[in-house]
Amino acid sequence: MSEEPTRRAVLLAAASAALPGSAACRADTSQETPPAPGRLQQSVSRWCFGALSLDELAAGAARLGLVGLDLLTPDQFPVLKKYGLVCTMTKTHALETGLNDPSSHDSCLNVIHDAIQATAAAGFRNVICFSGNRRGMDDRTGMDNCVQALRQIVPVAEEANVILHMELLNSRIDHPDYMCDRSEWGIELVRRVASDHFRLLYDIYHMQIMEGDIIRTIQRHHEYFGHYHTGGNPGRHELDASQELNYTAICQAIADTGYTGYLAHEFLPIHDPLTSLREAVSTCSV
């Protein structure tokens, strides 16, 4: 998901307070049979599972049949190699200051450029980017500025055979003032950039908050979505009966579109992290 660093720290602290404090307290899932993989390639976002070391999370993900970890930096790639995993999305710039601000173009594009090169060199394929906050800017001007920036960097992604994704985030609860907060706005941006190497990261949790109608949106507009994130709403916790989204039905809809990309779990576990991850994987194995 793609959260900005200060908020991540707050969320991780809150989530960790509800988790067991040591490796000895965590459930041992190493001997359990992993869920059947189903039709979707699943991964897990690193930032949500701060109670586990990167090695612990990678090892657990591999045992559960996940294909990789999401939202890593290139210096973390070697850990993935040890477990036969991939980075399903490479991190770049902060989300609040993004491509809608021309004064930030140079700094953001330099970071994105380096991430594209590192991702390609590792044999991975996805890199994230953000619109940035409005800060009084109207959405039309912001889109024009994003198009200007993306037309500079997308050719680099095309040459490297990497796909750049802008994430859809909610501006009601988690990211006030964020510009790319509606599917309609993001889809128009993808149309204007007009490259197979630029798509949207459709975060199901965020779009449930902003607009709902998740399955119909996926069915109608799936060609614009290159990556998916999960998370229970309300609260961004487990994909269980405590939240309002039917993830089995949602994942069936995604799979039925013929989607071949990644579905990354991006929820904050309030129970044992690997047990919660196992349950999420099972729920989404359609």
The answer to the question of residue 24 being in a domain is no
Place of tokens 């869920």: 35
d(CA 117, CA 180): 25
The answer to the question of residue 3 being in a domain is no
What phi-psi label fits residue 123: left (phi over 0), alpha (psi between -120 and 50 degrees) or beta?
A: left
Place of tokens 């973390």: 76
> pLDDT per residue over 249-263, tens digit each?
999 999 999 999 999
The answer to the question of residue 62 being in a domain is yes
pLDDT at 62 over 70: yes
Amino acid 36: pLDDT: 81
> pLDDT per residue over 4-36, tens digit each?
444 444 344 444 444 433 333 444 444 567 888
Cβ–Cβ < 8 Å for 19, 51 = yes
The answer to the question of residue 16 being in a domain is no
| Domain enclosing residue 74, as ranges | 32-284
pTM of the model: 0.90
Q: For residue 223, what is the domain's CATH number?
A: 3.20.20.150
| Cβ neighbourhood burial of 201 (10 Å; 0-12, 13-18, 19+) | buried
d(CA 146, CA 159): 20
Amino acid 33: pLDDT: 78
The answer to the question of residue 23 being in a domain is no
> pLDDT per residue over 30-53, tens digit each?
456 788 879 999 999 999 999 999
Report the number of distinct structural domains present in the chain: 1
Cβ–Cβ < 8 Å for 68, 125 = no
The answer to the question of residue 215 being in a domain is yes
The answer to the question of residue 176 being in a domain is yes
Amino acid 165: pLDDT: 99
Nearest to 253 by CA among 228, 199, 216, 225: 216
Amino acid 19: pLDDT: 42
